[in-house]
Amino acid sequence: MPKPPRILIIATSAATMDGGSTGLWLEELTTPYYAFRDAGADVTLASIAGGAIPIDPRSVKPVGENDASVERYLADEAFTQTVAATPCFETLGTGDFDALFLPGGHGTMFDYPTSEALARLVAAMSEAGKVVAAVCHGPAGLVAARKADGTPFVAGRKVAGFSDSEERAVGLEHAVPFLLETRLRELGAAYVSGPDFAPFAVRDGNLVTGQNPASAERTAGLVMEALRDAEQAA
C-alpha cells in the first residue's frame, strides 16, 4: 500500500491592505484542502508568520450562501481551529512533503513576495521533483523564487494567476503593490488565462497554477494528477 502523498499548504499572514481588511480568500484554501483530504492525502496547514490565518471578510457570506467547501469549513470545528492556530512554515521540516500549495487572497501580494524562505522553498521543492502549486494571487509566492542558475523560477513556464483585467474589475489595481499578471510576464513566464472569473488552471510539469477563486477545484485536481504521475515515475 503506497504512502499517502504529503501536501504542505502555506497561507498568507497579511491582514490589511490599503487601510482595509484582507487576507486569505477562504474558498482557495477550503476547496483544495478538502479535495486533497478526500483523495487520501496527508495535509499540513501553515502560514507565513504563524498564528491565526487572516480571512478576507469578503470571502465569507452568511451560512447557507457560500461555496460548498466554505460551508463545510464553517461546520468543521477541527479545521477552523487549525486555521486559528497555524505554525510558521519555517519551523517545519519540509523535506518530507510531496507538494506545496499556495492559496490566494490579496494578503499574499504583500507577504509571499517578500519571504526569502518561501522563495527558497519553492525552488528547492521544484528542483527535488516535488509539485509546486498556487491559485489566484497565490502565484505571488513564485515571483521571488530563482532557479539554481539565478534565473526567475517562472521564466519559460506556463503560469496562470489573477489577471490584470480581473484586478481592475474588482477595483483593487491600485491597492496591490504590483499587478500579478504583469509581474509574471516581466519575469519571463508564459502567462496563460481563460475568461475573467471563469475556472482555468494549467499544469506545466510539476508546476500547477490556477487563475482565480473559481479555479481552486480544477487546480487541486491537477495537483493530484501530478502527484500520481510522480508516484508512477518513481
**C-alpha distance from residue 140 to each of 80, 134, 177 (Å):** 25, 9, 11
What are the tens digits of pLDDT across the range 102-125?
Answer: 999 999 999 999 999 999 999 999
pLDDT the model gives residue 135: 98
Name the percent of the chain lying above pLDDT 70. Answer: 100
pLDDT tens-place string over residues 81-105: 999 999 999 999 999 999 999 999 9
- State residue 2's pLDDT score: 74
Which residues form the domain of 37? 6-233
Rounded CA-CA distance 213/76 in Å is 21
What is the pLDDT, as a whole number, of residue 227?
A: 97
Q: Give the total number of structural domains in the chain.
A: 1
What pLDDT, on the 0 to 100 scale, is given for residue 212? Answer: 98
**Does residue 1 belong to any structural domain of this protein?**
no
Mean pLDDT of 202-216: 98
In-domain check, residue 166: yes
Q: Print the SS3 string covering 111-129.
A: HCCCCHHHHHHHHHHHHCC
Residue 231: predicted pLDDT? 87
Q: What is the CATH number of the domain that holds 148?
A: 3.40.50.880
State the catalytic residue, choosing from 27, 28, 166, 167: 167
Task: With cut-offs at 50, 70 and 90, classify the pLDDT of residue 1.
Answer: low
Q: Which is catalytic among the residues 27, 28, 106, 136?
A: 136
The answer to whether residue 88 is catalytic is no
Whether 61 is in a domain gets the answer yes
Mean pLDDT, range 133-147, rounded to an integer: 98
Angstrom distance (rounded) from CA 55 to CA 105: 8
Q: What is the average pLDDT across 40-53?
A: 98
Q: 166 and 180 in contact (C-beta within 8 Å)?
A: no
Q: Residues 40-66: what's their mean pLDDT?
A: 97
Catalytic option among 137, 166, 181, 217: 137
Catalytic (active site) residue 167: yes
Q: What is the 3-state composition of the chain as percent helix, strand, coil, each rounded to the nearest 5? A: 35, 20, 45
Would residue 78 count as lying in a domain?
A: yes
Integer-rounded Cα Rg, in Å, for the chain is: 16
Q: Is the pLDDT of residue 167 over 70?
A: yes
